[in-house]
Structure 1
Amino acid sequence: MDYILQPWPWYVAGPMMALIMFTLIYFGKTFGMSSNLRTFCTIAGAGKKTKFFDFDWKAQKWNLVVVVGAILGGFIAHFLLSVPTDIDLNPATVESLSNYGFENVGKSLLPAELYSWDAVLSLKGLSILIIGGFLVGFGTRYAGGCTSGHAITGLSNLQLPSLIAVIGFFLGGLIMIHLLFPIIFG
């Protein structure tokens, strides 16, 4: 039973993702999570106010099942198939995060300094959520999709705009972690 509680190796998970992508391409579908937000807004009636949300959301029902599957899969993976274990981080990363005030680095996937209710409901936490949410929402709309859509679907379809978007996502992540993170948490 312990083998079930281990992460799947790349040679199992990678081909499974490829199989799913080939199946979606075969049926003329594209994968991306951000398009579901548009669908949810349309279902809620946003199409009456904004033309962007005025489309036939019923054609996207299959993608809503992906959202439900992601939520259920995450719940099952976390609560039923995970064992608490230390994360093997580079000692330089542990030292760097400890210098920023993170305690118990490598003891959990989500540091309490960012993901506890106390952190989220603080002025700093709310500011990070609001500003970060706006930037992610704006970036997703401006790039024409999210990281999963561009990096998985777009690149598997050999789309140049997706390659450019993925390069931009990586550059943004590097700028955040190396330039802005020290300012925010230093």
Structure 2
Amino acid sequence: MEIILNPWPWYVSGPLIAIVMALLLYFGKTFGMSSNLRTLCAIGGAGKFADFFKFNWRDQLWNLTVVLGAIIGGFIATHYLSNDTLIDLNPETVVELQNMGFQNAGATLLPNELFSIEALKSPKVLIILIIGGILVGFGTRYAGGCTSGHAITGLSSLQKPSLIAVIGFFIGGLIMTNLILPLIF
């Protein structure tokens, strides 16, 4: 007997996220992946090179459980809670992506044309990934947090800067998807 697994419905995963956020708020903690990167860099000695990393990182060790949970959760989700169905993309989106050179649009979560070992041999792909990484890093620092921190923690605690940041993330995503991506490919 074959067991077919589907993603958790919103009415299961949404309340679970809400419970985690309520617990974090109760204990006076915040959630965000970029703060974990800052903590890891501080542990590695980055404070010798930049004042941004000079802080008592021991107070943030609890937050590294988020990284561990993301790794373990990703492994469990990939190997035990996923099925092999294709991503349900709009047919018009599939055609647009194929016209840009993405051959298997919707077959994988990330396009192999950008995120495979073979793709890293292309100077164009390397430049796109490096510039994209720099822009994401700069944007995260400039916005005072990442998308997960602002959209989950910031919005749930009714922070106006997080609302502004999330609106900016969506506007940036729309500009990238509709204006810049077609120019690159």
* TM-score relative to the length of structure 2: 0.95
Give the deviation of 1:121 after TM superposition.
3.0
Q: Any idea what the Cα deviations from partners look like across 1:17-71, whole Å, max 9, x if unmatched?
A: 0000000000000000000111011101111232211111111111101101101
Cross-structure match for 1:26: 26
The equivalent residue for 1:14 is: 14
Between the aligned partners of 2:72 and 2:120, the Cα distance in structure 1 is 24
* CA positional deviation for 1:90: 1.0
User: Is the counterpart of residue 170 in structure 1 residue 174 in structure 2?
Assistant: no
Q: Tell me the number of residue pairs that the alignment of Structure 1 and Structure 2 aligns.
A: 184
CA separation in 1, counterparts of 2:52 and 2:167? Answer: 26
Q: Is the deviation greater in 104-113 or in 64-73?
A: 104-113
In the alignment, what sits opposite 2:3?
2
For 1:95 and 1:51, locate their aligned partners in 2 and report how far apart those are by CA, in whole Å: 48
2:153 corresponds to: 153
Q: For residues 136 and 105 of structure 2, what CA distance do their matches in structure 1 show?
A: 26
Shift of 1:129: 1.2
| Post-superposition CA distance 1:97-153 (Å, at most 9, x none) | 111111122222122112111112310111011100100000000000000000000
> Is the CA contact 2:21–2:153 (under 8 Å) kept in the aligned structure 1?
yes
Partner of 1:67: 67
> Deviation at 1:169?
0.6
8 Å Cα contact 2:42/2:57 also seen in 1: yes
Deviation track 1:158-178 (CA, whole Å, cap 9, x = no partner) reads 010000000111111111000
Q: CA RMSD in A?
A: 1.2
The amino acid that maps onto 1:151 is: A
1:75-86 paired onto structure 2 within 5 Å: 75-86=75-86
Report the secondary structure of 2:114's partner residue.
Answer: helix
Moved over 2 A (4+): none
| Pairwise CA distance, 1:80 | 2.4
Could you tell me which runs of 5 or more consecutive residues in structure 1 were left unpaired when the two chains were aligned.
none
